[in-house]
A and B are shown apart, each in its own frame.
Chain A
């Protein structure tokens, strides 16, 4: 054994590697050689640095200090990383975290196949093989989001194996997966290894029983390596019969302190029913998630719920908590029927959901505090209670940490502490120990047992660990929404005649799926198809296993299209988004086209007429008769003038002085006082223009009446020619300029969110660990939104021409080329925003403030860029929208073509590579 290890060089060599997350030390000077061609398991509690080590090995995270060599080269060297990337496969922690839930199994696999440069034929062959050997073949069209946990993990494995990696990294692939699926998963790995003996596999696992089957083990704790060797070595060193016990023995003294085997005292039954369900049923559409489930749980009982993922356990629990309203049947807690707004009952129950659902923005302490307060724990005992929970769940060191920065196991402990902070009489716990290390699990169970036996707390718990199930007073096995069997653990083992509970369950499940196959709920139907042991044809594999041997090109269209295609599939699966994007812009075009009117009309005015003659009335009539002004009731005095102007009721007030008519006749100079509302300066300027023109017109009319001739109109005739828009219509000026705004806002927001979304939901990891380059990623993300934006452009132009009747006088092709360049820019702007943002909210906000103001105010919609000042001018000059506004107006109204618009088209053509280049430089291919 050792001879082989010494003979072939290790697949990975780690020396002196440390890693910090802020102040937290995740890895502390780790030295480790991982032997090639072996199944290596990394065991240890959560938060000891297993996942960090994995991400360093996969190249997903940047190395801070120390040396990581994988497949014979330094991982800090970018070239080497890119070179060996196709030879590594990395499956991150979490159920299907790197999968795309709306895409089908086939589509997910095709996405990865393309990333590794496979052509259609090769992809199809590989997908057929992989899905066949994993038993996923019958479900190839099903979206990944609708798969059970076990199936998701199998799909994740298929995605990792699609390119025949030499080094397979699986980070807790079976956490949260039921026993049957787990057994199938490992059989699958074994058969693949039998097929490709040179492949090295590194697995992190929390299930110690599983680890026993591996060739070589690495035990880790607190960022350090505790021990390495085979399982036999471990037993020999510690004198313990199981790996779980051996691991505990290997831990340093202070970690082991206080650990003792769990003891379960007998329970004194008092026959008081705490939870009762009768015919509880939940249907989602035509899918029955829970099918007439009955049970009675006594006060103080620990009731275990087992079953494959998606069998209805969580749904049943949600119905009990009142989160979901049962379709049929009834449930009682403490003898009261479950109502979803029964606050008193809620206060007596503690619930922990399967997915982590605490506030990641609050520290551990703040989370505990908030929940204590919401459950109305008296104020003076909250600090003591928090202290107590922190001590119990060993959270003291991380009280000020944020949940995102602590590992899964510690987060689970925090969730539990939160569920128990108000000392509930009943605990409903949905897989509380998934991903928690053995010591913590034992401590947790000791606590559950104390609560049950001493405080008569009823515990309703679901789990995948058989040794935990053994500790329950009674257990139920669920499958496909129905309870298969319900009894004490020992009775079940006896009844099935099995050696242990796991075996009893697997046989029970196989029996159920075998006998009920036709009516079995579809979700779990995969489990009935045992993984086929058919070895993958070796010759075929060898033919195909060489894509990574060729030097991967600097830019691969296939890889880019892989992202583009996936993005457009997701877009197509979310028709609301696409429709909203297309329809939304048309709606906005209407709103802005008709709504923004730069014509100032129907201005309310009133007159303070101190003269009261026909002449003074005539003056007011002159205004009121035009379409620009509307007369309101006369003003009586200054006070009312002031009040009405302040209230905004009138925009213009005229004061005609006493003796106006008489003075006019006599030729005595008179002055009309005019006040206008200056609150909106643009409007006031227009009012001023109107008033002056109408005043002059009135004078000229007066003079015509008095002398029979118009006064000379000045020394010069001025001929005004309103070009491009002879009637000075708002619509013609506005509609072409609105198109650039809309083609900026929607594509930018959609593109920005599409990237930040991957960051927030975790699938960004695929970008880190596959051979796709930054440019391919960016362009691939952009492409679908450019296409969407161009469709949008066509609709908007059609609306402008046929609905708004804006005449199109120039070269349509020139504008279309401009639109294409412009949408490239606007989507690149979205990408640029996405690089800086981590959360979707921030991305949304940043893109909104970064695009609305510049495009609406600084791009020439209302004021030409040349008239702007300061920041506005600087933005307007370089902002792509201002160039496209000129192009749109030019082609619509000014009859321009390519030659006239060369400057603007060039500017857009230059902006795009600059924006994209900035994105490519700023985007990181590794997590930091």
Chain B
């Protein structure tokens, strides 16, 4: 009971400390409002304003027709250039696609000679290269056959495919980007708030003061975990409701409460991680580097940027130990696919297990290193 009271009071102290750092409050506010907005709206649709250039060596009605078939939002207004400019534009990254329509194109099409159109793709912009290539092929073929038939015949074979995207029918990027950014910020902030705060206490000598009082390392740690976890959880909840659902208008399929429960468990793990890192680093610059070293892989490899199944097996295995992996998959299931507890319970279990592991590892290290911290 006394322990619980100590944990509660030390936690209040953490909250008050944070309240005194107006710059930190501004940054937290930014991260969960404007930061989310920028990330959500800045990310283009997969094929959005793809920069395209056309070399029209035919100048026929058909080639004009092809040129005018490219327009925003999927493509930029095509730049009409000549052949020597193609390399330059691709080199500078001005265009991702350059379509070369050969001389006598229309004549050859009408004659059924299947003329060859060359499509140059800058394959260093991989995402666009893939999807854009397919789109452009379809458009060119479509225009040509329509021109031939006088109308655009739906060149349906005997079997058609009815493709439907579930959970995000129009594949709107901002739905995805906004939520992933929240998840990234939750992880980053919770690690910084606990880990850096521990280093700060150590650099200012206040940890020593705590240790002569009747409080245990467990209480000190638990108080940081709950207080900082709570701050991030509230910021995350508000951001989800007001920014994501409100301003960005992203429909959330599942239960926000369930998501927040998962986020709370996740915070238990990440705040413990932060403390663990705080016991390893000896100064703030070291902590900063350690933070980058941990944060980037957590962000890039837990399935929030690219899909997990495409990663090498080894990476997939290692990332199973990261709480973010389970958190990302839980969040996607709950928020996008409306999954209930029955579906995501095993992610919950994993996060709890990982969180406890980190918590006790951090506690052991904290106890061990605490005397050298003063």
Contact = CB atoms under 8 A, between A and B. Distances in A.
Nearest to A571: B285
A832 interface: no
For the complex of A and B, list the 4 residue pairs with the smallest distance between their C-beta atoms, beginning with the closest.
A872-B42, A678-B165, A678-B168, A725-B123
B162 A886 contact: no
Given A375-B214, A886-B92, A864 B123 contact: no
Interface string A790-814: 0000000000000000000000000
Interface string B305-338: 1110111100100000000000001001100111
A757 interface: yes
Among A599, A643, A664, A715, the most chain B Cβ lie within 10 Å of the Cβ of A715
Given A646-B338, A674-B164, A715-B109, A370 B204 contact: no
Among A866, A889, A890, the most chain B Cβ lie within 10 Å of the Cβ of A866
B297 A588 contact: yes
A691 B337 contact: no
Nearest to A576: B286
Contact of B214 (A355, A374, A862, A893): A374
Interface in A354-374: 355-362, 366, 370-371, 373-374
B61 interface: no
Interface residues of B, number: 151
Given A576-B282, A889-B124, 4 more contacts: A591-B296, A647-B343, A678-B171, A715-B148
A24 interface: no
Contact of A357 (B118, B176, B189, B204): B204
17 contacts: A357-B205, A591-B300, A596-B305, A596-B306, A597-B310, A646-B339, A671-B160, A677-B337, A679-B336, A685-B131, A689-B131, A723-B123, A730-B126, A841-B197, A844-B192, A849-B188, A873-B42
A357 to B, nearest CB: 4
Contacts of A745: 292, 296
B261 interface: no
B115 A717 contact: yes
B329 to A, nearest CB: 6
A718 B127 CA distance: 20
B307 A595 contact: no
B257 interface: no
A857 B287 contact: no
A258 interface: no
B114 A676 contact: no
A750 to B, nearest CB: 6
A647 B116 contact: no
A724 B196 contact: no
B223 to A, nearest CB: 10
Contacts of B188: 845, 848-849, 852
Contact of B121 (A347, A370, A598, A722): A722
B293 A749 contact: no
A322 B282 CA distance: 22
Contact of A686 (B48, B131, B185, B216): B131
Given A679-B176, A875-B38, A601 B93 contact: no
Interface in B78-116: 88, 90-94, 96, 109, 112, 114-116
A900 B92 CA distance: 7
Interface string A854-873: 00111010111011111111
A718 B17 contact: no
B231 interface: no
Contacts of A599: 310
B117 A645 contact: no
Contacts of B92: 886, 890, 900, 903
Contacts of A719: 116-119
Contact of A724 (B124, B140, B141, B309): B124
Contact of B166 (A678, A726, A848): A678
A896 B89 CA distance: 12
B164 A361 contact: no
Interface stretch (B19-27, B237-245, B264-272): B19-27
A714 B133 contact: no
B288 A322 contact: no
Nearest to B37: A871
Contact of B46 (A355, A648, A685, A896): A685
Contacts of A886: 92-93
B307 A864 contact: no
A600 B307 CA distance: 8
A872 B46 contact: no
A845 B160 CA distance: 52
B232 interface: no
Nearest to A734: B126
A184 interface: no
Contacts of A718: 116-119, 136-137, 140-141
Contacts of A595: 297, 300-301, 311-312, 315
Nearest to B217: A341
B366 interface: no
Nearest to B86: A723
A837 interface: yes
B337 A679 contact: yes
B361 interface: no
A390 to B, nearest CB: 19
A869 B44 contact: yes
Interface in A865-924: 866-873, 875-876, 886, 889-890, 893-894, 896, 900, 903
Contact of A872 (B2, B43, B51, B140): B43
B150 interface: no
Contacts of B349: none
Interface stretch (A454-462, A548-556, A579-587): A579-587
Among B39, B48, B126, B371, the most chain A Cβ lie within 10 Å of the Cβ of B126
Query: Interface residues of A toward B: which range?
Result: 35 or more
A577 B291 contact: no
A723 B134 contact: no
A684 B168 contact: yes
Interface string B139-163: 0110011011000000111111111
Given A724-B123, A867-B51, A325 B371 contact: yes
A621 interface: no
Interface string A728-750: 10101100110000000110011
Nearest to A882: B93
Interface in A642-684: 643, 645-648, 664, 667, 669-684
B120 interface: yes
Contacts of A736: 124
B211 interface: yes
B164 to A, nearest CB: 5
Contacts of B288: 749-750, 753, 844, 847
A682 B127 contact: yes
Contact of B309 (A602, A761, A873): A602
B13 to A, nearest CB: 5
Interface in B11-42: 12-13, 16-21, 23-24, 27, 30-31, 35, 37-39, 41-42
Contacts of B350: none
A927 interface: no
Contacts of A870: 38, 41-42
Contact of A577 (B133, B167, B285, B295): B285
A353 interface: yes
B57 interface: no
A598 B46 contact: no
B48 to A, nearest CB: 5
A746 B292 contact: yes
A125 interface: no
A436 B90 CA distance: 72
B129 interface: yes
Interface string B188-223: 110011001101100111101101111110000000
B226 interface: no
Contacts of A753: 284-285, 288
B301 A750 contact: no
Among B46, B51, B76, B307, the most chain A Cβ lie within 10 Å of the Cβ of B307
B9 interface: yes
